[in-house]
Structure 1
Amino acid sequence: MPGPVFPDIPSKPPGPAELLRRHGLRPRKSLGQHFLRRPEAALRIVEAAALPPHETVVELGAGLGILTWALSLRFRRVIAYELDEKLLSVLRKENFLPSRVEIRRGDILRLDYAALRREVGRPLILFGNLPYYLSSRLLYRLYELHELFEAAVFMFQREVAERLLASPGGKNYGLLSVLTSLLTEARRLMLLSPGEFYPPPEVASAVVKLVFRREFLPEGIFRLLKVAFSRRRKKLLRNLATVWPEEAIREAFRDLGLAENIRAEAVGPEVYLELARRLEVHEPVQKGKKDLPGGSI
């Protein structure tokens, strides 16, 4: 990693076990809290991201500040959101982060990303160590708002990363795989063992970099994919026919060379894109229903 951009280099932060002990706290399982243990690991992540020192980056989930600290060595401004009031209190009392870091309370599932984009004045660059229980929901929301973002560097449990990067036909391939392929250039930067976190999770984690594409997608692509993967044991045609006219679907399948018994996990991202373009001209047979029973992200 190149030398720090700024002369006022903050001292290394204490480890999470020490910080929690000092303040009489324990990790909250309900929030999926697994904190990076070592500043060196955080520096590796920032280096691997290979992003130039833009004016601002946004961290989703500051935790106990180890990644926040590493980001402050590289970027001119860091806006770090944290939901847990007790962790916010620790960060403010310990005061190991420089003034270019702004700590804000916020639920990352409910942030006004459009307002944040306007505040920053450019597409957003995101970093974060994402809890397993909200990774998929957050990604789906970010993908819906994809025009607001330039890049994201996230730590996921390895299983989530494998779903994002999966190819058609594999067991991990699904809705988020398709959206990741269509909306981003995605690659895995590194694996992190459970021992890199406190408390250690049960599985390894992966750092994934997403660079957002500047491409227009059909308005109906999100709905189509939710319907397509809503019942994985059913044939794709049967899933889609719960929303669109069956004859229109059969015609689209013939034109695209799709077998009528094909399942959702066997269809590639570009084919889904073309399906969405063809079906968006047809009036849904279930007007006003955006989600199907059994649908998941």
Structure 2
Amino acid sequence: MQDHVRAKKHLGQHFLHDERIAEKIGNTLTLEGYKNVLEIGPGMGVLTKYIIKKPLQVIAMDLDTESIAYLQQHYLEENLTILEADFLKFDLSEIFDNQPLAITGNFPYNISSQIVFKALEWRHRIPEFTGMFQKEVAQRICEKEGSKTYGILSVLTQAFYHAEYLFTVKPGVFNPPPKVDSGVLRLRRKEDFTLPCDESLFFKVVKTAFQQRRKTLRNSLKTFNLSDKLKEDTIFAQRPEQLSVTEFINLTQKIQDDGISTHQ
């Protein structure tokens, strides 16, 4: 029987070996509004074992064949499905009969931001998202306006979810230890998670603004061909990091009312 999995650098694998922390991450799930959980990157199942104790249907998804084989040998619980797949390429409509699902995991740091962006695309299905990131990324997701680390991930995530930074994890509890601290967060979807503006335009405005974050919005949003009248609005004298999520929504509404479509 396979007794361990070798951590692979190209997959960004750092296996957590502290049971206390694994249980603590498992307990970040509130179990409110869903009965299904997708765990991304389970490795050797240190977190999986705590999730499957809960009244949930669980899918553990990994693209590492060695991890899949290990899990299949060691975890035979009826409420667990082990799936070899790449989350970033996977169609989530194929699992859990289109019912709500939470996402959790000790995420590979090299793709953690992409995991969040994909979860945002599926926000209608995902009422909760918890897990471990590189500390800097977890903090950025939860950061408020006025900070140098506040950016695209912060605004887009917080437009739809309440973001909480929960606790920090030191490198020594991993094998191999990463070079940085890790951070665990929880995202809980807002009761009303539709925006009062064109949502695809909102994404475009936020991403375009932060691509030149040191410039004022008047300059960074030049490609939108805004009318001279609109550019006189005081909001355009600010830099993107100064705007709250609500102000970005208001900005999008102003641009939308100015006749700008997302197709430009």
TM-score normalised by L of structure 1: 0.80
TM-score normalised by L of structure 2: 0.89
What corresponds to 1:139 in structure 2? Answer: 116
Q: Distance in 1 between matches of 2:46 and 2:176?
A: 14
Tell me whether 1:80 sits opposite 2:56 in the alignment: no
Tell me whether 1:89 sits opposite 2:69 in the alignment: yes
Max Rg structure: 1
Q: Distance in 1 between matches of 2:257 and 2:98?
A: 36
Report the secondary structure of 1:164's partner residue: helix
Q: Distance in 1 between matches of 2:74 and 2:69?
A: 10
Query: 1:167 corresponds to which letter in structure 2?
Result: K
User: 2:61·2:83 contact (CA, 8 Å) conserved in 1?
Assistant: yes
What is the root-mean-square deviation in Å for CA atoms of aligned residues?
A: 2.2
Mark the runs of 5 or more structure 1 residues left unpaired by the alignment.
Answer: 1-13, 21-25, 290-297
Query: 1:150 corresponds to which letter in structure 2?
Result: P
Query: 1:191 corresponds to which letter in structure 2?
Result: T
CA, structure 1 residues 33+90, in 2 after alignment: closer, same or farther (shift >3 Å)?
Answer: same
1:101-140 equivalences under 5 Å are: 101-116=80-95, 119-140=96-117
**Alpha-carbon displacement from aligned partner over 1:26-58 (angstroms, at most 9, x marks no partner):** 311111001111333211112243335953211
Query: 1:123 corresponds to which letter in structure 2?
Result: P
Q: Distance in 1 between matches of 2:119 and 2:141?
A: 14
Q: CA deviation at 1:282?
A: 4.3
User: 2:169·2:183 contact (CA, 8 Å) conserved in 1?
Assistant: yes
Tell me whether 1:261 sits opposite 2:261 in the alignment: no
Tell me whether 1:27 sits opposite 2:7 in the alignment: yes
What corresponds to 1:4 in structure 2? Answer: none
User: 2:59·2:81 contact (CA, 8 Å) conserved in 1?
Assistant: yes
What corresponds to 2:206 in structure 1? Answer: 225
Q: Distance in 1 between matches of 2:19 and 2:78?
A: 19
What corresponds to 2:252 in structure 1? Answer: 276
Quote the sequence identity (%). 32
Q: CA deviation at 1:133?
A: 1.4
CA, structure 1 residues 269+175, in 2 after alignment: closer, same or farther (shift >3 Å)?
Answer: same
User: 1:49·1:189 contact (CA, 8 Å) conserved in 2?
Assistant: no
What corresponds to 2:19 in structure 1? Answer: 39
CA, structure 1 residues 174+248, in 2 after alignment: closer, same or farther (shift >3 Å)?
Answer: farther
Q: Distance in 1 between matches of 2:112 and 2:230?
A: 32
Q: How many residues align?
A: 259
What corresponds to 2:183 in structure 1? Answer: 206
Tell me whether 1:50 sits opposite 2:61 in the alignment: no
Query: 1:215 corresponds to which letter in structure 2?
Result: F
User: 2:40·2:104 contact (CA, 8 Å) conserved in 1?
Assistant: yes
Q: Distance in 2 between matches of 1:249 and 1:166?
A: 29
Report the secondary structure of 1:102's partner residue: strand
What corresponds to 1:177 in structure 2? Answer: 154
**Alpha-carbon displacement from aligned partner over 1:142-182 (angstroms, at most 9, x marks no partner):** 21331121101111110001111112111101011112221
Query: 1:227 corresponds to which letter in structure 2?
Result: T
Q: Distance in 2 between matches of 1:269 and 1:53?
A: 25
Mark the runs of 5 or more structure 2 residues left unpaired by the alignment.
Answer: none
CA, structure 1 residues 127+96, in 2 after alignment: closer, same or farther (shift >3 Å)?
Answer: same
Report the secondary structure of 2:56's partner residue: coil
Q: Distance in 2 between matches of 1:187 and 1:263?
A: 25
Q: CA deviation at 1:199?
A: 0.9
**Alpha-carbon displacement from aligned partner over 1:196-216 (angstroms, at most 9, x marks no partner):** 211111111111010012321
Q: Distance in 2 between matches of 1:209 and 1:120?
A: 24
